[in-house]
C-alpha cells in the first residue's frame, strides 16, 4: 500500500506541456512539495523512480458502454466492478457509464445499479464512476445506429426526471436528436441540470443551431450517426463549428473515422475535442459474437457490426484511442488534453480529476515515450497490471 509517495525523474504532463518536476502524493491526493514535507515528517516515504517515463493524468472517458464482457446496463454489480478495474488498469481512471435505448424497466434497473455505485464512490482499484451519459432513448429512428428502434421515444421532462431520480441524480450528459418531437422545448427546460449533446440525428444546420441556442453544448461521436458536412448542407457539424462553446466527441479507434478526418477535426475544433472510446462489452475480449442492447454484434479484427453491417460501437479502450490519434499526427500534448483534462472539465469534475495538480485525486499513468503503459495509479494506489492483457 502506497501512503506517502514521491515520483522522481519522470516528464510530467500538466498545464498543457511536459515538465521535469517531481510529483508528490499523500494518501489519495496530489499535494504540493511544501505540503508533502510538512505533513509527512516522521512518516515513511516511498520513492518511485520514473526516469525515462512520461507521467500523464489518468484519462477521462465520457462515452463508454462496456468492456470485458460487461455492459453498464447489465445491472450487475460484479460485472460493473470488473469493468471499472479493467478500465483503470488501461489508464482510464474516471468515466461516465453510457446507456442505450432499452425498455424502460431494463433502463430503470440499470440506472439504479449504476447510481448506487456512483453514490458509494466506486470500487477499490477501479476507475472512478463519475456519473452517467444517457445516450438514448431520445434519438432519431433514421440515425439510430446500433440502438433498437423499438425503444426510441420522444424526450419529456417527466421521463428524464424519473430516470434521473432512479440514478441518484448522477446523469451528467444526455445525447438526443433535436429534430424529434418536443426536443427543443425539453432542452430549454433541463439545460441547467445536465449537459445536452446532439446525437443520432438527421438535423439540418438551422435545427442544430436552434438546439445550441436552446442549451445544447456538445456533440456525440462527431461524424457518426449524423449527416456529413456538405458545402450546401452544413448540418450539425457545420453548426458546431460556428459555435465556439460547443465541444465534440471523436472516436479515434481506427474504425469509426478516417485518419485524415481525425487530423481535420483537431484543426477544425482546436481545444474543443473530447476523445472517447464508445467501447462496448467486446472490448478486451477479441473476436466473437456479443450482445448489445439485445442485438447480436459480431466482432472481427477490431470492428463490431450488427447483422446488417452497421457499426455497433467500438472494441477499443480510450488509451488505445489516444495512441491512434497520435499515430495520425496529433501532437501528444493535444491528444492527452483531449483524453483527460478537457472531458473532465466538460462534465464538471476537473476540481477532482483529469489533471496532475495539488488537491486532485492521485490518478495517473506512467508510460514509456512510445505510450506503453508501465504503471497506473488510482487514488494513489497501483492498479493490477495483469488486467491490461486479460478479460478477467
CA neighbor of 221 nearest in space, from 147, 123, 111, 130:
147
Nearest of 31, 6, 134, 81 to residue 360 by alpha carbon:
31
Spatial CA neighbour of 99 closest among 128, 127, 62, 69: 62
CB-side neighbour CA atoms (13 Å) of 68: 19
As a whole number of angstroms, the distance between CA 276 and CA 119 comes to 24
Q: Cα dist. 101→136, 137, 145, 211, 248 in Å?
A: 5, 4, 11, 21, 21
Query: Cβ(167)–Cβ(193) under 8 Å?
Result: no
Retrieve residue 24's grid coordinates: 508528490
In angstroms, how far is CA 69 from the centroid of its own chain?
Answer: 18
- The arrangement of strands across the sheet holding 195-198 comes to 59-64, 92-98, 128-135, 171-176, 195-198, 216-219, 247-251, 273-276
Residue 169's contacts (CB-CB under 8 Å, 6 or more residues apart) are none
C-beta of residue 7 within 8 angstroms of C-beta of residue 48: yes
Nearest CA to 261 out of 350, 324, 188 is that of 324
What is 103-152 written as a DSSP string?
-HHHHHHHHHHHHHHHHHT--TTS-EEEEEEEE-SS--GGG-TTS-GGG-
**Is 320 known to be catalytic?**
no
Catalytic residue among 61, 71, 74, 278: 278
| Residues annotated catalytic, as ranges | 278
Amino acid at each position: 500500500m502506497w501512503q506517502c509517495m514521491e515520483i522522481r525523474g519522470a516528464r510530467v504532463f500538466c498545464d498543457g506541456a511536459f515538465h521535469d518536476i517531481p510529483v508528490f502524493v499523500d494518501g489519495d491526493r496530489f499535494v504540493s512539495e511544501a505540503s508533502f514535507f510538512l505533513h509527512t515528517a516522521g512518516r515513511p516515504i516511498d520513492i518511485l523512480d520514473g526516469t525515462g517515463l512520461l507521467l500523464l493524468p489518468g484519462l477521462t472517458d465520457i462515452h463508454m458502454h462496456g468492456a470485458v464482457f460487461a455492459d453498464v446496463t447489465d445491472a450487475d454489480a460484479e460485472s460493473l466492478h470488473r469493468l471499472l478495474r479493467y478500465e483503470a488498469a488501461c489508464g482510464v481512471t474516471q468515466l461516465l457509464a453510457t446507456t442505450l435505448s432499452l425498455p424502460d424497466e431494463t433502463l430503470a434497473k440499470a440506472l439504479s445499479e449504476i447510481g448506487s455505485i456512483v453514490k458509494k464512490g466506486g470500487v477499490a482499484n477501479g476507475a472512478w464512476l463519475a456519473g452517467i451519459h444517457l445516450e438514448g432513448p431520445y434519438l432519431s429512428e433514421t440515425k439510430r445506429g446500433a440502438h433498437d428502434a423499438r425503444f426510441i421515444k420522444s424526450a419529456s421532462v417527466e421521463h428524464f426526471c424519473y430516470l434521473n431520480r432512479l440514478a441518484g441524480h448522477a446523469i451528467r450528459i444526455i445525447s438526443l436528436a433535436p429534430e424529434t418531437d418536443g426536443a427543443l422545448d425539453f432542452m430549454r427546460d433541463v439545460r441547467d441540470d445536465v449537459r445536452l449533446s446532439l446525437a443520432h440525428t438527421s438535423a439540418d444546420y438551422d435545427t442544430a443551431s436552434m438546439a445550441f441556442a436552446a442549451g445544447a453544448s456538445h456533440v456525440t461521436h462527431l461524424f457518426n450517426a449524423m449527416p456529413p458536412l456538405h458545402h450546401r448542407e452544413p448540418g450539425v457539424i457545420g453548426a458546431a463549428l460556428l459555435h465556439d462553446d460547443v465541444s465534440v466527441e471523436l472516436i479515434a479507434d481506427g474504425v469509426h473515422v478516417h485518419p485524415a478526418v481525425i487530423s481535420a477535426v483537431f484543426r477544425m475544433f482546436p481545444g474543443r475535442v473530447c476523445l472517447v472510446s464508445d467501447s462496448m462489452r467486446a472490448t478486451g475480449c477479441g473476436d466473437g459474437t456479443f450482445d448489445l442492447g439485445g442485438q447480436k454484434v459480431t466482432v472481427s479484427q477490431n470492428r463490431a457490426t450488427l447483422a446488417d453491417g452497421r457499426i455497433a460501437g467500438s472494441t477499443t479502450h480510450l488509451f488505445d484511442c489516444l495512441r491512434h490519434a497520435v499515430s495520425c499526427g496529433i501532437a501528444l500534448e493535444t491528444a492527452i488534453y483531449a483524453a483527460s483534462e478537457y472531458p473532465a472539465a466538460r462534465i464538471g469534475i476537473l476540481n477532482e480529476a483529469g489533471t496532475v495538480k495539488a488537491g486532485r485525486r492521485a490518478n495517473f499513468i506512467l508510460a514509456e515515450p512510445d505510450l506503453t503503459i508501465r504503471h497506473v495509479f488510482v487514488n494513489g494506489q497501483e492498479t493490477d497490471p495483469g488486467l491490461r492483457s486479460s478479460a478477467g
